[in-house]
Amino acid sequence: MREEAGELREKLTYEDTATAKPRSHIDDEYAAASWREPKVCITTSRDPSSRLKQFAVEMKLVFPNSQRINRGNTTVKEVVDAARSSDFTDIIMVQETRGEPDAMIVSHLPYGPTVSFSMSNAVLRHDIEGHGTVSEAFPHLIFHNFKTPLGERIKTVLTRLFPVPKSDALRVMTFSNDRDYISFRHHTYTKTPEAAAAGAGAGGGKLRPTDVVLKEVGPRFELHPFFVRLGTLDQTEAATEWVLRPYMNTATKREAL
C-alpha cells in the first residue's frame, strides 16, 4: 500500500507540473489586483506650466479612483514614499517640454513595474469641438493590436489602472496600437432608441436598432513606449526588462508591440 501511495503521489506531481501554468514575476506584481480596486496618484514634473496642470486635471477624469497631487519641490523618492504610505496602487507622472505634454510614466506600487512612454499630439478636452460631459462610470476598455509578449505586458500595466466596469456602463476607453504608437481615445456612447433620437436630431440619417452614437469626451493623445523597468519610479538601478533602441539598423523593420 505504501508503495502504491508513493507511486500515485509521484504521478500527481508530474501531472501538476505538466498542466499547471508556472507563476511569474507578473503574477506577484499584480497579486492584489483580484481583491482591490486600483487607486491612482496623478502628478507632474516640477514647476508645471498651466497647460500641463490642466492636462493633469483631465487625466484625473480619465482614471476612476484617482487623485491629483501637486508636486511642489518634492523629489521622486518623496513622491513614491508618500504614495506608498497613502496606499496608492499606481503613480502616473506626466511631463512636458515648453508647455506641451510629451511624456508619461506609469509606476505600479509597491514593487513595480515602471513603464515610460513618450507622448505626442496631446489634445485637451476644451480643444475638442463638441466634447461631451465626463461620466464617472467605470469605463469599458478596448485594446487593439497588442500581439507580442511586450504588447501583453503593456496591456496588463494599462488595464490595471482601471476598475472592473459594470456591464451597462456607457463609457469606453480605446488603446489602439499602430506600429508601436498607441492612440488613446475616450468616448461615451448612447444606445438605441436614444441613439436613434440623437441621430435624427443631428441629421445623420436613419439608424439601425444595433447602432450607437459616439461622443468623444477627451483628452486624446498618442503614446510610444520607451522602456519597461522592473522596479518603481524611484529605483533607477532596477533591472530593465525592455528598452527602445531606435538607432539599430533593424529598428525600422521591428514592431515591439
pLDDT of 14-57, one tens digit each? 554 444 555 565 567 888 777 889 999 999 999 999 999 999 99
Structure letter (DSSP) for residue 7: H
Confidence of residue 134 (pLDDT cuts 50, 70, 90): confident
- The larger pLDDT score, comparing residue 254 to residue 112, is at 112
Beta bridge partners of 194: none
Residue 17 belongs to a domain: no
Q: Count of H helices and E strands in the chain?
A: 6, 11
- The larger pLDDT score, comparing residue 156 to residue 10, is at 156
| Cα three-residue angle 57-225-22, rounded to 5 degrees | 110
Residue 100 belongs to a domain: yes
Q: What is the CATH number of the domain that holds 153?
A: 3.40.50.10480
Residue 101 belongs to a domain: yes
Q: Quick count: other Cβ atoms within 10 Å of Cβ 111?
A: 15
Residue 125 has pLDDT above 60, yes or no: yes
Q: DSSP 3-state assignment of 90?
A: strand
Q: CA–CA distance from 129 to each of 37, 62, 165, 227 (Å)? A: 33, 18, 27, 34
Q: Which residues contact 8 (CB under 8 A, 6 or more apart)?
A: none
pLDDT (0 to 100) of residue 175: 98
pLDDT (0 to 100) of residue 22: 53
- When the pLDDT of each residue in the chain is averaged and rounded to a whole number, the result is 85
pLDDT (0 to 100) of residue 97: 94
Contact 189, 139 (CB under 8 A): no
- The larger pLDDT score, comparing residue 230 to residue 8, is at 230
Confidence of residue 139 (pLDDT cuts 50, 70, 90): very high
CA-closest candidate to residue 108, choices 257, 250, 254, 234: 234
Residue 233 belongs to a domain: yes
Residue 13 belongs to a domain: no
Residue 143 belongs to a domain: yes
Highest-pLDDT range among 4-8, 188-192, 205-209: 188-192
- Identify the helix (H) or strand (E) that includes residue 140: strand 140-144
C-alpha cell, 128: 475638442
Q: DSSP 3-state assignment of 124?
A: coil
Residue 201 has pLDDT above 60, yes or no: no
pLDDT (0 to 100) of residue 18: 47
Categorise residue 205: left if φ over 0, alpha if ψ from -120 to 50, beta otherwise. Answer: left
Domain that holds residue 62: 24-243
pLDDT (0 to 100) of residue 197: 54
d(CA 109, CA 88): 7
Tens-place pLDDT, residues 146-182: 999 999 999 999 999 999 999 989 999 999 999 999 9
Backbone dihedral angles phi then psi of residue 225, each to the nearest 5 degrees? -65, 140
- Identify the helix (H) or strand (E) that includes residue 108: strand 100-108
> How far out from the chain centre does Cα 24 lie?
20
pLDDT (0 to 100) of residue 232: 94
Residue 19 belongs to a domain: no
CA-closest candidate to residue 97, choices 44, 61, 175, 42: 44
Residue 96 belongs to a domain: yes
- The larger pLDDT score, comparing residue 190 to residue 103, is at 103
Number of domains present in the structure of the chain:
1
